[in-house]
Structure formats: C-alpha cells, structure tokens
Chain A
Amino acid sequence: MNSANYLYLSALLFTLGAVGVVVRRNAIVVFMCIELMLNAANLSFVTFSRINGNLDGQVVAFFTMVVAACEVVIGLAIIVTIYRSRRSASVDDASLLKR
C-alpha cells in the first residue's frame, strides 16, 4: 500500500485534534485532543521512517510516548486541582484573568 496514505491519515488526525482543541470546552477533552495531535505526529514519524528506510523515526516515536505520559501526569494534576476548587473543568469558566 502507498505509504503516502498514512501521511494523509496522520494529517487528518492532527487537524481533528487541533480543531478539537479550539472548539471543545472541557479541559479533559481539550487535553485528549492534544494527545491525538501528538499521536498523529508519531504516525508521521513512523511512516517517514518506513519511507526513508531508517529507524530514527521509530526511536522518536518511543520518546514521544514517554514524554506524552509525563504530560498526562502533569496535565491531569492541574486539571484535577482546578476541578476541586471550582467544581468545573470547563475552560470557559476559567476566565478570571481576562480583562
């Protein structure tokens, strides 16, 4: 199968994630959309690794997974703290800093 199709899929997933970040209001869903974008980038890396015929891209994918896991830890900690003090995880409610 043509590897370019995987690139199209990855670009599609990335766009879906980016649109999700912009339109969704729940912090957890926004965060999941960001994870989708990271995984889209991973798919690109692996596809390019196949096209280029070397393994560097696959190595990057492993690093990305680890980093994404760390990001989940930090992100959920922040979101849970916000939820406990406000009883809401909506990014629209968090608007005290808007002037």
Chain B
Amino acid sequence: MTFTAPVLSYQLLSPILIVLGGALIGVLVEAFVSRKLRPIAQLSLTIGTLLLALFQVFTIRNSQSTTAAMGSVVIDGPAVLMQASILVISILAAFLIADTENFVPVAAAVPGSEDERRAIQSGQTLTEVFPLTLFAVSGMMIFPIATDLITLFVALEMLSLPLYLMAGLSRRRRLLSQESALKYFLLGAFSSAFFLFGAAYLYGYSGSVSFEGIRIAIAGGSGNDIILLIGIAFLSVGLLFKVGAVPFHAWSPDVYQGAPTPVTAFMAAATKVAAFGAMLRIFYTAFANAQWQWRPLLIVISIITMLFGSLVAIAQRDVKRMLAYSSIAHAGFLLAGVIALNKAGLEGSIFYLFAYGVATVGAFGVVTLVRDSTGEVTDLNRWAGLGKRSPWVATIFAGFLLAFAGIPLTSGFIGKFAIFSAAYEGGSKSIVIAGVLSSAIAAFFYIRVIVLMFFTDPQEDGTSVVIPSILTRATVVICFVVTIALGVFPSPLLDSIKTLAIFIR
C-alpha cells in the first residue's frame, strides 16, 4: 500500500492559518513581552493579523469553488463572503475589546479580594483576551466552510471554548459575569453533545462523514429514515442553540447581560454569521433532498422565535437584555432565509448577516459609552433624556435601533426585504406573515427607546456619556456609516453577493 501525501492547498487556507498563527504569537507575547508593552503589542498584533487575513480572503476570492485540505473545507463564493464578513465584524469588535477598562485585570483573582484590589491599583490590564479572540475567530472562519462532520464539530468547539472564557472576564459585576460564563459553558457543552450525537446518526445513515456523502445517501434514499431523522434533529439542536433560536435561547439573555459588553458585541455579531453560515451550507447542500422532513419543523421554530423574541423584548428594562431578545427575533428572521432554500434566500441571508452584525457591534459599542461612577448603565430608565445631553451618541444609537427595526434607508430594511421576498418565493407564506407581524411588534419597543432618549427629561443621577477612546469612536462611527450606506446604496454589495453566492456541492 502506498501512502499519498495530503494536498492541503495552503494558499486557500491562508486566511485561517494567518489568524491561527496570530493567536499563537499572541500567546507567546503574553509570556515574553513586558507588562507595560503588552496591551499595545497585543492590540496591534490582533488588528494586523485580522487585516492581513482579510487581505488574503480578498486575494483568493476568484479562486472560488474549490475544495481544500483534502475536501474537508470548501472555498466557494459564500465561503469567501462569510469569512470576509466575520473578519470585518471581528476587526470592529476588536477595537471595542481594546478598551481594557471593561475587563478584569486578573481573571483568577477572587472578586472583592486583596489580590484584585492590588491588581487594579497597579494598573494591570488583561491582555489574554486578544489571543482568545483570535482563536475564536479562526473557529468561526472554519465553521461555515467545513464540509465534513469532523471539521464542523472541531470548528464549533474552537469558536465556542474561547467565548465561554471571555464571557467571564467583566471588570464590574464580576459575579454576574462569572455566572454567565458558567451558564454559557454548561448549556453550550450540552448542546454540542446533542450535535455530536446527531452527527453520529448521520454517519450511521450514510456511512460517510462528508456532506457530499450524506447528500448522496439521502438522494439514494435506501437507508433507514428513522436514523436520518434522529441525525437531522439532533444536529439541528446544536446549531439552533448556537444561533439562539427558541426553544434553545435560554442562555442568550443571561450571557449577553453578564458578559463584558465588547465581548457581547463580538459574540452576538460574529457567532451569528458563523453559525448561520454553517447552517445554510448544511441545509442547502447536505439536507436539501430531505427538505420535506426538516422544513415544517424549522418553519414552526422560525415563527415561534420571531414572535417570542419580539414579544419578550417589550418587557425588558435592561438595554443589553433587550438587545439579546432582539437578537433572538433576528435569529427567527434569518431562519426564514434557511427555509427559503433558494438562491435568493442565500443571498438575502448573507446580506442580512453582514448588515445585522455591523449594526450589532455598533449598538453594543454605544452601550459601553453610557456610564456612571460604578460602570456601565444598562438600566433603560436611566437612559431617559440621553438625546438632550449627548445628541450625537443618542442619534447614532437611534440609527442602529431603526436598522434593527427594518426602517427604510437603513441596512435592516434591505436585509429584511431580501429575506422575506426569498421566503415568499420559496413558498412559505406563513413565515412572511409572522415576520412582518413580529417586525411591527419589534418596531414598538425600538421606537419606545428612541422616545425615551429624545422626548423625556434627563434625570440627575450621575449617568453620563464618557468621551470615547479613538478606537471606540471609530467603531461606532464606521458601523453607523455602513448601516446607513447599505440602506441607501445596497446595490454594489448586493451585486457582488449575487455573483458569488453559489454553494458548490
């Protein structure tokens, strides 16, 4: 027997390898660079790595529709678009993470202890968060391009494990933050066990771990259908958990609220792109022939998710929790793109993911700015009158809220329109009705916040908007500009998505 060396196509894998290399160098920087230089070294390393990877994605964009690493991953149009979206969102989120004011100086110190106080006094900052971010980004970049179950599972864990840790690093309200890390970890690990069990049954059904093999087995239809259904159902549980769809959403409000806000921004935006990217690929390629089995169920989940997210968000008094429920509702809208199962659905989803991700990073960026003497103010009542005190910040936040609500001239409108028209074309009218209805409900609570900010008198309770650091300012402004630009001139991006968004099988 001869042993053939595997062909890896390093050129196509280079964006992922660059990010992984950057993360490893980051670990070394943590060990060898003096404490004083570390923050700036880590930040420039992270941003540089992400920019270089983005450049590499740009250079490989035309070598599309090929597999790499012996068919474990595929570099097609959607893969390039997803990777680029993830990188852009990560760069913006990394600017927010650079504001180390939000992170505990020593994660291992017990809250309220002498160790913690000493670390804060000595001006220590936490820089481990940068390599963790890069590891998570590399997992996110592999997740939507994986074409076999092993790669998919490893990528899922690679993106999740650093995020579990990052959720527990908040400087203030540390008990809350640690609790959110615990919840995120336990529920995340629970769902990945379901995912793996589903993967085992899919392998049992088709005798292959590759999506191609599963697709052929389903098209052949000779296997045991029960095993296939168990496989699809359990695998979907794992994926639906990651995107935060009802009834697997329980973690998201708690984690969004407890985690440090920059981490929430990164997690909310980039994880969604990665998880929906993987979901679109699996359902569009591997499971497409079994659509009569999974579509009815996903339609129900999508409708419940939209309505539940919008309705419960109305009752929230905490701005981070409100954004969490809004992200649940958005997961429902995005599921409509998966269910559409046509090219328009894929294009719409990719556009929506990018637009939503950018607006989310921007919105959480604004949340980091509203503070009092003890830290961020997330109680919505104390945001009253913000528009009178700091009109610019309030206007920008209002812009993001209008984008979430899907008001015309913002990116949210174009995204929703693209997704719902694709779902209509795909023949699921019920979803379009539920979607429009829940958008109307959602508009109510977004606009309530805007009214609260602009038409209520400010209270004298020490809430104020801090002067943002240059990086935070850049993030918020860029996100705002992109959100409006995509609403006014969406055609350049839509056109390039249209030419690229074809899955190869």
**Interface positions of A (Cβ within 8 A of B):** 7, 10, 14, 17-18, 21, 27, 30-31, 34, 37-38, 40-42, 44-45, 47-49, 51-54, 56-57, 59-60, 63-64, 67, 70-71, 74-75, 77-79, 81-82, 84-86, 91, 94-97, 99
CB within 8 Å of A: which B219-250 residues: none
A58 and B186 alpha carbons, distance in the complex (Å): 26
Q: Is B308 an interface residue (CB 8 A)?
A: no
Q: How far is the CA of A84 from the CA of B106 in the complex (A)?
A: 14
Q: Evaluate contact between B197 and A40: CB separation under 8 angstroms.
A: yes
CB of A91 within 8 A of CB of B153, answer no
Which residues does chain A contribute within 8 Å of B196, judged by CB atoms?
38, 41-42, 64
Query: What residues of B have a CB within 8 angstroms of the CB of A42 in the complex?
Result: 196, 200
User: Within residues 86 to 140 of chain B, which ones have a CB less than 8 A from any CB in chain A?
Assistant: 107-108, 110-111
The answer to whether B200 and A41 have CB atoms under 8 Å apart is: yes
Residues of chain A within 8 A of B193, CB atoms compared? 14, 17-18, 34, 37-38, 41
In the bound assembly, the distance between CA atoms of A40 and B234 in angstroms comes to: 14
Q: Are A51 and B204 neighbours in the complex by a CB distance under 8 Å? A: yes
| A79 (CB) vs chain B CBs: closest residue | B182
* A82–B178 touching, CB < 8 Å: yes
Q: Is the CB of A74 within 8 A of B161?
A: yes
CA distance A31 to B186 in the complex (A): 7
Neighbouring A residues of B197 by C-beta, 8 Å: 14, 37, 40-41, 44
Interface assignment of B212: CB less than 8 Å from any CB of chain A: no
Chain A, interface SS category: helix
Give the docked Cα–Cα distance between A51 and B110 (Å): 51
A34-B193, A67-B157, A94-B183 are contacts. A44–B200 as well, Cβ < 8 Å? Answer: yes
Q: Mark B246-280, 1 if CB is under 8 A from A, else 0.
A: 00000001100110000000000000000000000
When the two chains form their complex, are residues A96 and B199 in contact, meaning their CB atoms are under 8 A apart? no
**Nearest chain B CB to A87 CB, angstrom units:** 10
| 3 nearest A-B pairs in the assembled complex, by CB-CB distance | A48-B204, A37-B193, A44-B200
Can you list, as one digit per residue, whether each of B164-194 has a CB less than 8 Å from chain A (1) or not (0)? 1100100000111011111101100110111
A-B contact pairs, 5 of them (CB 8 A): A27-B186, A56-B203, A60-B149, A74-B164, A97-B176
Which of B154, B168, B200, B254 has most A Cβ within 10 Å?
A: B200
- The residue of chain B having its C-beta at the shortest distance from the C-beta of A14 within the complex is B197
Point out the residues of chain B lying under 8 angstroms from A17, CB to CB.
Answer: 193
**Contact at B209–A78, with CB atoms within 8 Å?**
no
Please determine whether A78 and B204 come into contact, CB atoms closer than 8 angstroms. Answer: no
Given contact pairs A41-B196, A79-B182, A91-B186, a sample of 5 additional A-B residue pairs in the complex whose CB atoms are under 8 Å apart? A27-B182, A44-B201, A81-B178, A82-B179, A97-B254
A65 to chain B minimum Cβ distance, whole angstroms, is 12
Residues of B with C-beta under 8 A to A54: 207-208
